Chain A
Amino acid sequence: MPLLKFDNVSKSYPGGQAALSELSFAVEPGEMLFVTGHSGAGKSTLLKLIHLSERPSRGTVLVADRNLRQVRGRQVALHRRQVGVVHQDHRLLMERSVFDNVALPLLIAGMPGAEVGKRVRSMLDKVGLAAREKARPRELSTGEQQRVGIARALVAQPLLLLADEPTGNLDPTLAGEIMQLFAALQAQGTAVLVASHDLALVRRMRKRVLVLDHGRLMDDIAPEELAA
């Protein structure tokens, strides 16, 4: 059973052109894939539909066999807890410490304080920021801030991780490290969907790639094809 399924999904805005047109694809648990395309191709809209920041105009989006069209009210918040998101601009709370930022999803989920401490420190250790837990985000480099954002997205062990241009501001070495971190999540069963226009990075990772153009799925490239 796929973890994520788009079935003839279209999204159009009032008075504007279609952001997505009849999109259909499926993602298995633990699978990592890229969504690529030029600016305005529909990458961000696709992520918003999965995260329930927006709803499709037509078609069905299923996450863990649940039709997102039927998710309303409080259920929207509960759905978002199962989907981790990494943004290009990090969206960290600058007045709070690194620890507090990473702890947020666990506090929101209602995890007891002692367990929160253990999980946050373990996650910070994984992203190499164990020594910076008391620092404020503004005291960190861009790369470190991005790693805090990733730690926050992963600490609650989501079903699915969405990353919107996660390496946009990073040098190639750091971008590679972060991609390796994402790839390691496959072993935990977390599916990772990365929206990126960095084709070199996409090729280097040799994962499945969805190519969007003007909201249409132009290609669905398997890892083997990239290797070839």
Chain B
Amino acid sequence: MSPARAEARAAPAATRMARPGGLARLRAWRDQHAYSLVSSLGRFVQRPFATLLTVGVMAVAIALPLGLGLALANLQRLSGSLQESREIGVFLRVEVDAAQAERLATELRARRDVAAVELRTPAQGLAEFRQLSGLGDAAALLPDNPLPSVLRVTPLAGDGSRLAEQLQARPEVELVQHDADWRRRLAAWLGFGKTLALVLASVLGLGVLLVVGNTVRLEIGNRREEIAVLQQLGATDGFIRRPFIYLGAWYGLAAGAAALGLLALAGAMLRPSLAALAGSYGSAFALHGPEPLLAGLLLLAATAVGWLGAWLASGHHLRQTRPTDL
């Protein structure tokens, strides 16, 4: 036996392939992930039409609840000032003169449950009417000022319902305007809308998960032989799964980006007509899209859902193809 052969016999062949050190293993791990990342991106763009369809379906499923959520956020912003405004409008009887009105205002300012009282005299009311209504000429024809004095009372705390009731009972008061019920209903509707958006997001999120899972399942089917070869060569489940999981993540990321694009497009289409509508009410209200942080979180969540769908689908396939006794 030659010395070389004797040496080879003494050391099993496998030990000749020296086990790499910690840093080298880390580099190898990084290389494997980089390889899977790039190769899965290659597969993602390899069939553009199929990819477009899948990403399109996922994007719509993501955009629907997100769009509803954004619409609610805008509605809440619009109604925010109404929600926060707790002012009580107190219309005094027309026979109540300025001095009586001022005395009442002073009395109310002294109450512990009142934060502020603003008195608007009939003259101020008429001037405002002329300015805002565009009916200044018609108002000039009136022989007397028919408007009453009005007190704008801001309660110190709570929604001011009790205060409004007490004011309504006073003899100087003709009418108290206090829309607490309306505000409560609006708050309830907004709450319901938020819950609906959450339920929709959950259901459609499950849909996204299933779409990714099915897409990856088909991809696995196309690469069944390759997987079998990798298994024969000693690849672990993690090694085999990795490119599919990256593929699912790419689908999720692309769908999240496409959903944001869809919403931006919808926003751009709605913005001019909404601005015109708001303008007709003297409001400068404008639609707001998702904040950068929310957009970033959405992309992250969509990527995670894609990753999870692919992880589940590839795991199922590997369990199915593994002989039960191995």
Contact = CB atoms under 8 A, between A and B. Distances in A.
Nearest to B12: A159
Nearest to B323: A54
Contact of A55 (B11, B28, B325): B325
Interface in A65-91: 72-74, 76-82, 85, 91
B326 A104 contact: no
Given A79-B234, A110-B20, A158 B326 contact: no
B305 to A, nearest CB: 28
Nearest to B21: A112
Nearest to A76: B326
B76 to A, nearest CB: 52
Given A52-B326, A108-B233, A189-B12, 7 more contacts: A51-B232, A55-B325, A77-B236, A105-B234, A107-B32, A109-B234, A112-B27
A110 B17 CA distance: 12
Interface of B: 2, 4-5, 8-9, 11-14, 16-17, 20, 24-25, 27-29, 31-32, 35, 225-226, 228-237, 239, 323, 325-326
Contact of B13 (A105, A115, A158): A158
B122 to A, nearest CB: 87
A158 B16 CA distance: 9
Given A112-B31, A187-B8, A74 B13 contact: no
A30 interface: yes
Contact of B31 (A108, A113, A159, A188): A113
Contacts of A24: none
A79 B234 CA distance: 7
A102 to B, nearest CB: 11
B16 A157 contact: yes
A77 B28 contact: no
Contact of B24 (A104, A107, A112): A112
Majority-rule SS of B interface residues: helix
Given A77-B235, A159-B13, A187-B8, A72 B28 contact: no
A143 interface: no
A156 B29 CA distance: 17
Interface of A: 3, 28-30, 51-55, 64, 72-74, 76-82, 85, 91-93, 104-105, 107-113, 115, 152, 156-159, 186-190
Contacts of B24: 112
A108 B20 CA distance: 13
Nearest to A1: B12
Q: Which 9 A-B residue pairings sit nearest by Cβ, starting from the closest?
A: A189-B8, A81-B234, A80-B234, A110-B28, A108-B235, A77-B236, A113-B31, A77-B234, A157-B17
B316 to A, nearest CB: 17
Nearest to A191: B13
19 contacts: A54-B323, A55-B326, A74-B237, A77-B234, A80-B232, A85-B232, A91-B232, A104-B229, A104-B233, A112-B28, A113-B28, A157-B13, A157-B17, A158-B13, A187-B5, A187-B8, A188-B13, A189-B13, A189-B16
Given A107-B32, A157-B16, A74 B236 contact: yes
A68 B14 CA distance: 17
Given A81-B233, A110-B28, A112-B31, A29 B9 contact: yes
Given A52-B326, A110-B29, A111-B28, A189 B9 contact: yes
A188 B8 contact: yes
Nearest to B7: A189
B137 to A, nearest CB: 83
A111 B239 CA distance: 13
Nearest to B23: A112
A156 B235 CA distance: 13
Contacts of B4: 187
Contacts of A82: 14, 234
B234 A29 contact: no
Contacts of B237: 74, 77
A149 B278 CA distance: 72
B138 to A, nearest CB: 82
A93 B222 CA distance: 12
Contacts of B14: 64, 82, 157-159
A113 B29 CA distance: 10
Contacts of B231: 77, 80
Nearest to A74: B236
